[in-house]
A and B are shown apart, each in its own frame.
Chain A
Amino acid sequence: MPQTLFDMIWDGHLVGARADGRELLYIDRHVLHELHAPHAFEELEKQHRPVRRPDLTFSAMDHTVATKPGRDDNTNPSGAAFLKAMREGSVRNKIKVFDLHDPEQGISHVVAPELGMVLPGATHAVPDSHASTVGGVGALAFGCGTSELAHILATQVMAMKRPKRMMIRLDGKLAAHVTAKDVALRIISEIGVSGARGHVVEYAGSAISSMPIEQRMTLCNLNIEMGGRSGFVAPDDMTFQWVAGRPYAPQGALWDRALAHWRTLRTDEHAVFDREHGVNCSTLEPQITWGTDPSMVLGISGRVPDPSSAADQGRKAAMQSALTYMGLTPGMALEGLPVNRVFIGSCTNARLPDLQVAADIVRGRRVAQGVIAMVVPGSSTVKRDAEAAGLDRVFRDAGFFWGESGCSMCAGGNGDRGEPGERIVSTTNRNFEHRQGTKVRTHLVSPATAAATAIVGRIADVRHIPGRA
Chain B
Amino acid sequence: MQPFSSHTGIAVPLLVDDLNTDQIAPVQAMRDLKPDYRKLLFMRTRAEEPDFVLNQPQFRNPGILVSGHNFGAGSSREAAVWGMLANNIRVIVAKSFADIYRENCLQNGLLPVALPEPEADDFIARVVAVNGAAPFTVDLLTQKISGPGGADITFDIAPADRMRLLEGLDDIGMTLKHTDEIVAFEKRLAASQPWLQQARDSRR
Binding site for B on A (CB under 8 A): 15-16, 18-22, 24, 26, 28-29, 35-36, 38-39, 47, 49, 52, 55-56, 58, 78, 81-82, 85, 115, 117, 119, 121-122, 127-129, 143-148, 150-151, 154-157, 159, 161, 163, 193-194, 197-198, 224, 227, 229, 247-251, 254, 257-258, 261, 293, 314-315, 317-318, 411-413, 430, 432-435, 438
Instruction: Name 26 interchain pairs, CB-CB below 8 A, sorted by A.
Output: A15-B185, A18-B178, A19-B174, A36-B77, A36-B78, A47-B172, A49-B176, A58-B199, A78-B31, A129-B100, A146-B78, A155-B175, A155-B176, A155-B179, A156-B182, A157-B175, A159-B171, A159-B174, A163-B99, A194-B69, A247-B201, A247-B202, A248-B201, A250-B195, A432-B23, A434-B22
Binds A, one of B6-14, B54-62, B101-109, B131-139: B101-109
**Contact call B17/A314, Cβ cutoff below 8 A:** yes
Choose one: B78, B175, B189; the contact of A147 (CB below 8 Å). B78
The answer for the CA separation of A147 and B163 in the assembled complex, in Å, is 18
For A119, list chain B residues within 8 Å (CB).
195-196
- Cross-chain contact B201 with A197 (CB below 8 angstroms): no
Closest to B79 in A: A146
Q: A-facing mask of B108-131, CB < 8 A → 1, else 0?
A: 100000000000000000000000
With CB as the reference atom, state the residue of chain B lying closest to A78: B31
User: Considering the complex, which residues of chain B in the window 165-189 have a beta carbon less than 8 Å from any beta carbon of chain A?
Assistant: 169, 171-172, 174-179, 181-182, 185-186, 189
**B2 on interface, CB distance cutoff 8 Å:** no
Q: Is the CB of A55 within 8 A of B174?
A: no
Query: Are A144 and B76 within 8 A (Cβ)?
Result: yes
Given A145-B107, A197-B99, A248-B200, CB of A16 within 8 Å of CB of B181: yes
Q: Cβ of B198 and Cβ of A55 under 8 Å apart?
A: yes
Q: Are B182 and A435 in contact (CB under 8 A)?
A: no
A318 to B73, CA, bound (A): 15
> A378 vs B104: C-alpha distance in the bound complex, in angstroms?
28
Closest B residue to A77 using CB positions: B31
Q: Is the CB–CB distance between A314 and B16 below 8 Å?
A: yes
**B51 interface residue (CB < 8 Å to A):** no
A residues in contact with B96, CB < 8 Å: 194, 197
Interface check B33, CB cutoff 8 A: yes
Closest to A19 in B: B174
Given A20-B164, A145-B107; 12 other pairs, CB 8 A cutoff: A15-B178, A36-B77, A117-B199, A128-B75, A128-B76, A146-B78, A147-B78, A154-B172, A157-B182, A193-B18, A198-B99, A430-B75
Contacting residue for B32 out of A49, A78, A155, A258, CB 8 A: A78
**Cβ contact within 8 Å between B174 and A145:** no
Which of A144, A148, A155, A248 is within 8 Å of B199, CB to CB?
A: A248
Q: Given A81-B32, A261-B193, do A197 and B100 touch, yes or no (CB 8 Å)?
A: no
Any A CB within 8 A of the CB of B68:
yes
Q: Contact check: which of B98, B107, B182 meets A148 at CB < 8 Å?
A: B107
Q: Contacts A28-B196, A413-B27, A430-B74 hold; do A251 and B175 have CB atoms under 8 A apart?
A: no
A197 touches B70 (CB 8 A): yes
A25 vs B151: C-alpha distance when bound (angstroms): 42
Q: From B68, B179, B182, name the one whose CB has the most chain A CB atoms within 10 angstroms.
A: B182
Which residue of B is nearest A321, CB measured?
B16
Q: Does B44 contact A (CB under 8 A)?
A: yes
A272 to B26 CA separation, bound complex (whole angstroms)? 40
Residues of B within 8 A of A143 (CB): 76, 100
Q: Which residue of B lies closest to A42 (CB)?
A: B33
Query: By the criterion CB–CB under 8 Å, are B175 and A432 in contact?
Result: no
Q: Does B148 contact A (CB under 8 A)?
A: no
- The answer to whether B74 and A432 touch across the interface, beta carbons within 8 angstroms, is yes
- Please indicate which of the listed interface residues A28, A119, A129, A257 has the most CB atoms of chain B within 10 Å of its own CB: A129
Binding site for A on B (CB under 8 A): 16-18, 20, 22-23, 26-28, 30-33, 44, 68-70, 73-78, 81, 96, 98-100, 103-104, 107-108, 158-161, 163-164, 169, 171-172, 174-179, 181-182, 185-186, 189, 193-203
**Contact of A24 with B70 in the complex, beta carbons under 8 Å:** no
**Which of A24, A85, A434 is in CB contact (< 8 Å) with B175?**
A24
Instruction: Compute how far the CA of A78 lies from the CA of B100 in the bound complex, rounded to whole angstroms.
Output: 26
Q: Which residues of A contact B172 (CB under 8 A)?
A: 47, 49, 150-151, 154-155
State the 3 A-B residue pairs at the shortest beta-carbon distance, nearest first. A20-B160, A147-B107, A78-B31
Chain A residue, CB-CB nearest to B81: A145
A-side contacts of B198, CB under 8 Å: 55
Cβ–Cβ contact B20 & A432, under 8 A: yes
**Nearest-CB distance from A307 to chain B (Å)?**
14
Q: Which A residues are CB-close (under 8 A) to B18?
A: 193-194, 293, 318
Nearest B residue to A122, CB-CB: B196
CB neighbours (8 Å) of B68 from chain A are 314
By beta carbon, the residue of chain A nearest B15 is A314
Q: Are A227 and B98 CB-contacts (below 8 A) given A157-B182, A247-B202?
A: yes
Q: Which residue of B lies closest to A413 (CB)?
A: B27
Question: What's the least CB distance linking B76 to chain A, in Å?
Answer: 4
How far does the alpha carbon of A8 sit from the alpha carbon of B184 in the complex, in Å?
A: 19
B32 touches A15 (CB 8 A): no
Tell me whether A127 and B76 are in contact (CB under 8 A).
yes
Give the contacting residue for A411; candidates B75, B103, B160, B202; CB below 8 A: B75
Assess the B104–A145 pair: CB atoms within 8 A: yes
Give CA–CA (A128, B76) in the complex, Å. Answer: 6
User: B192 CB to closest chain A CB, in angstroms?
Assistant: 8
Contact between B199 and A85 (Cβ–Cβ < 8 Å)?
A: no
- List, in ascending order, chain B residues with CB within 8 A of A248's CB: 199-202
Interface centre among A15, A56, A159 (most CB of B within 10 A): A15
Cβ-defined partner of B26 (8 Å) among A29, A56, A161, A434: A434
Q: From residue A297, how far is it (CB to closest CB) to chain B in Å?
A: 15
A-chain residues with CB within 8 Å of residue B30 when the two chains form the complex = 35, 413
Residues of A within 8 A of B75 (CB): 128-129, 411, 430
On whether the beta carbons of A412 and B78 are closer than 8 Å, the reply is: no
A258 touches B195 (CB 8 A): yes
Cβ-defined partner of A254 (8 Å) among B22, B33, B78, B195: B195
**Once bound together, how far apart are the Cα atoms of A49 and B74, in whole Å?**
30
